[in-house]
A and B are shown apart, each in its own frame.
Chain A
């Protein structure tokens, strides 16, 4: 099983709303990632968690707040987003976190976020 599950699949939110994206994997992977992808562009790394600790924050605005409650779950809390934050948000996991080990990344199907 190489499945990463993301919910919801689609989300429309206003600029004053608070919402959360969820990601789950049961592969025993110890690294989990959030990516943002705009149309016709490759994914952009946002955050990396290694062993449930935040190891990389790619200078993401504070209106995006990640959380890793346990080794299988990853959340992304959203607050006061802007319309330009509309994108496909992808979660991924790998057995190990960079710089070494098995870093083969497995992605979920994404959450299509629209900010109005």
Chain B
């Protein structure tokens, strides 16, 4: 059964730091992995999606990598800003053959605070 873990659960950094958020999954047979951002009480914003055949994706100051064999993805945020403060969620979709790929399997998120 696929399980997704995000470490750390919470992170507080000063503005300007480069930081890494981690997501690990137990079954390497995935279809894709998606990173989201959620502000308190708000909806989710899709940040990056990595297909199983890809190693990384980049968008602005964000870079997400995927290592299926080790069951890990990292979200790298460069030059963090107070506006980056939010909860970051990682979600995995299993591959078709792995079964139960009809829904996203979520981590519990990393709550990030970037202090001015």
- Listed in ascending order, the chain A residues whose CB lies under 8 Å from chain B are 2, 4, 6, 40-43, 45, 48, 56, 58, 88, 90, 92, 98-100, 103-110, 112
A40 to B17, CA, bound (A): 26
The smallest beta-carbon distance between A92 and chain B, in angstroms, is: 8
Interchain CB contact under 8 A, A90 and B106: no
A103 to B36, CA, bound (A): 14
In the complex, chain B residues 50-93 whose Cβ is within 8 Å of any chain A Cβ: 89, 91, 93
Also in contact, A103 and B31, with CB within 8 A (given A42-B89, A43-B44): yes
Interchain CB contact under 8 A, A56 and B96: no
Interchain CB contact under 8 A, B104 and A45: yes
Dominant SS among interface residues on chain A: loop
A39 to B81, CA, bound (A): 25
Q: Pick from A88, A98, A99, A106: contact of B46, CB below 8 A.
A: A106
Interchain CB contact under 8 A, B43 and A110: yes
Residue of A nearest to B42 (CB): A109
A48 to B101, CA, bound (A): 13
Interchain CB contact under 8 A, A109 and B43: yes
A98 to B42, CA, bound (A): 25
Residue of A nearest to B105 (CB): A42
Q: Pick from A43, A56, A88, A107: contact of B41, CB below 8 A.
A: A88
**B 28-55 to A, binary, CB cutoff 8 A, 1 in contact else 0:** 0001101010000111111001000000
Interchain CB contact under 8 A, A99 and B96: yes
Q: Does any Cβ of A come within 8 Å of B102's Cβ?
A: yes
